[in-house]
């Protein structure tokens, strides 16, 4: 009887070790399905409490998961082997608590990194689609008129056009005014995007490839920024300038089409990847 009682704690450690290892191992399978899914810190914390190391495994940080697993199991073994059980119990508790919070923090950072990666992927897909759609217009002698939205979020497209074509950039004074206001925004990302817009304008201006669209014709009652920008483009077209309007703002595109202005729209190609990227960007407030 004494022998059995002496072995029971070891059985407990062995069973615990197997169960915790199983939790970590199962994430090797689960994460194949969750590869592109967001990780949530609170969920990682829960897994870390249920099974030490699982919070890291949830975020596919398997090295950290197994290190945590080894430390907690080692702490349990030391509790049984040592005469100073109180000390090693405290060590076990510290390791247990730290790993739960560390796993949660790692998941939060992994989720943020994944969102940035998705944003970059979506942005690249849209940029490639815009360049492809613009190419057909540029080949027929069109120049590009842009709105504030396009300047701020697709400056890479315009930089590519500057470097690889002779296209002229047409800009309405309203766009310049909007950028002036946005560069003073309290949002750091908005300020940075507005500044990038100014960088693009200056690049075209220094290359003598920037033109201002003239004021809208007399008698029109358009008052919103989009209306002023679009009618400015229309005025240039009526004067014989071949222009295509580039905007990532759906409302501006609708208005331009209603006035028979050529509009660059990669979504017309029906490419699923591009449509998905557009939806994701809209969810982030871009458009």
Residues 103 and 176 in one domain: no
Residue 127 belongs to a domain: no
Confidence of residue 223 (pLDDT cuts 50, 70, 90): low
Q: What is the mean pLDDT of residues 83-105?
A: 85
Residues 265 and 178 in one domain: yes
Residue 281 belongs to a domain: no
Residue 135 belongs to a domain: no
Residues 26 and 66 in one domain: yes
Residue 173 belongs to a domain: yes
Q: What is the DSSP letter of 267?
A: G
- The yes-or-no verdict on residue 83 having pLDDT over 70 is no
- 264: phi then psi, degrees, rounded to nearest 5: -80, 125
Residues 260 and 150 in one domain: yes
Residues 106 and 151 in one domain: no
Q: What is the mean pLDDT of residues 38-51?
A: 90
Residue 145 belongs to a domain: yes
Residues 201 and 250 in one domain: yes
Lowest mean pLDDT across 17-26, 215-224, 238-247, 252-261: 215-224
Residues 201 and 95 in one domain: no
- The yes-or-no verdict on residue 144 having pLDDT over 90 is yes
Q: What is the pLDDT of residues 102-125, one digit of tens each?
A: 999 999 888 888 888 888 888 888
Residues 217 and 146 in one domain: yes
Question: Which carries the bigger pLDDT value, residue 229 or residue 34?
Answer: 229
pLDDT at 269: 55
Residues 99 and 206 in one domain: no
Q: What is the pLDDT of residues 177-221, one digit of tens each?
A: 999 999 888 899 899 999 999 999 999 999 999 999 876 555 455
- The yes-or-no verdict on residue 2 having pLDDT over 70 is no
Q: What is the mean pLDDT of residues 1-27?
A: 78
pLDDT at 219: 46
Residues 46 and 96 in one domain: yes
Residue 286 belongs to a domain: no
CA distance 14 to 163: 65
Q: Give pairs for 17-26: CB < 8 Å, separation 24+.
A: 17/73, 19/51, 20/51, 20/52, 20/53, 20/54, 20/69, 20/72, 20/73, 21/69, 23/47, 23/50, 23/51, 23/53, 23/54, 23/57, 24/51, 24/53, 24/54, 24/57, 24/62, 24/65, 24/66, 24/69
- The yes-or-no verdict on residue 89 having pLDDT over 90 is no
Count the domains in the chain: 2
Q: What is the mean pLDDT of residues 257-265?
A: 92
- The yes-or-no verdict on residue 7 having pLDDT over 70 is no
Query: Is residue 35 within 8 Å of 77, Cβ to Cβ?
Result: no
pLDDT at 152: 92
Residue 153 CA to chain centroid, in angstroms? 13
Residue 48 belongs to a domain: yes
**Residue 265's domain is classified under what CATH number?**
3.40.50.1010
pLDDT at 257: 92
Q: What is the pLDDT of residues 232-250, one digit of tens each?
A: 999 999 999 999 999 988 8
CA 106, 51, 65, 90 torsion-angle sign: positive
Residues 148 and 262 in one domain: yes
Residue partners of 183: CB distance under 8 A and separation at least 6: 191, 194, 195, 198
Residue partners of 179: CB distance under 8 A and separation at least 6: 148, 151, 152, 194, 197, 198, 201
Residue 283 belongs to a domain: no
Strand partners, 144: 169, 244
Structural domain boundaries, residue 207: 141-270
- The yes-or-no verdict on residue 253 having pLDDT over 70 is yes
- If you average pLDDT over every residue of the chain, what do you get? 85
Residues 106 and 149 in one domain: no
pLDDT at 8: 76
Give the CA count within 13 Å in the CB-facing half-sphere of 266: 27
């Amino acid at each position: 009887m004494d022998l059995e009682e002496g072995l029971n704690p070891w059985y407990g450690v062995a069973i615990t070790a197997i169960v915790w290892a199983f939790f970590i191992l199962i994430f090797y399978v689960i994460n194949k399905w969750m590869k592109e899914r967001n990780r949530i810190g609170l969920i990682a914390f829960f897994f870390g409490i249920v099974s030490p190391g699982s919070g890291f495994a949830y975020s596919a940080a398997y090295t950290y998961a197994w290190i945590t697993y080894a430390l907690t199991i080692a702490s349990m073994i030391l509790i049984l082997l040592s005469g100073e059980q109180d000390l090693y119990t405290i060590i076990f508790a510290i390791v247990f608590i730290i790993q739960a919070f560390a796993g949660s923090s790692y998941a939060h950072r992994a989720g943020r990194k994944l969102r940035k990666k998705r944003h970059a992927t979506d942005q690249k897909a849209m940029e490639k689609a815009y360049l492809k759609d613009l190419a057909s217009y540029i080949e027929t002698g069109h120049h590009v008129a842009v709105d504030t939205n396009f300047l701020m979020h697709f400056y890479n497209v315009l930089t590519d056009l500057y470097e690889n074509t002779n296209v002229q950039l047409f800009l309405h004074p309203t766009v310049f005014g909007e950028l002036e206001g946005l560069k003073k925004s309290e949002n750091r990302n908005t300020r940075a995007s507005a500044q990038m817009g100014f960088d693009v304008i200056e690049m075209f201006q220094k290359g003598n490839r920037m033109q201002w669209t003239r004021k809208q014709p007399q008698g029109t009652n358009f008052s919103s920024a989009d209306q002023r920008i679009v009618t400015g483009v229309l005025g240039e077209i009526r004067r014989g300038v071949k222009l295509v309007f580039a905007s990532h703002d759906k409302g501006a595109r609708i208005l331009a089409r209603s006035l028979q202005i050529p509009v660059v729209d990669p979504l017309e190609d029906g490419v699923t990847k591009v449509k998905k990227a557009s939806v994701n960007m809209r969810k982030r407030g871009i458009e």
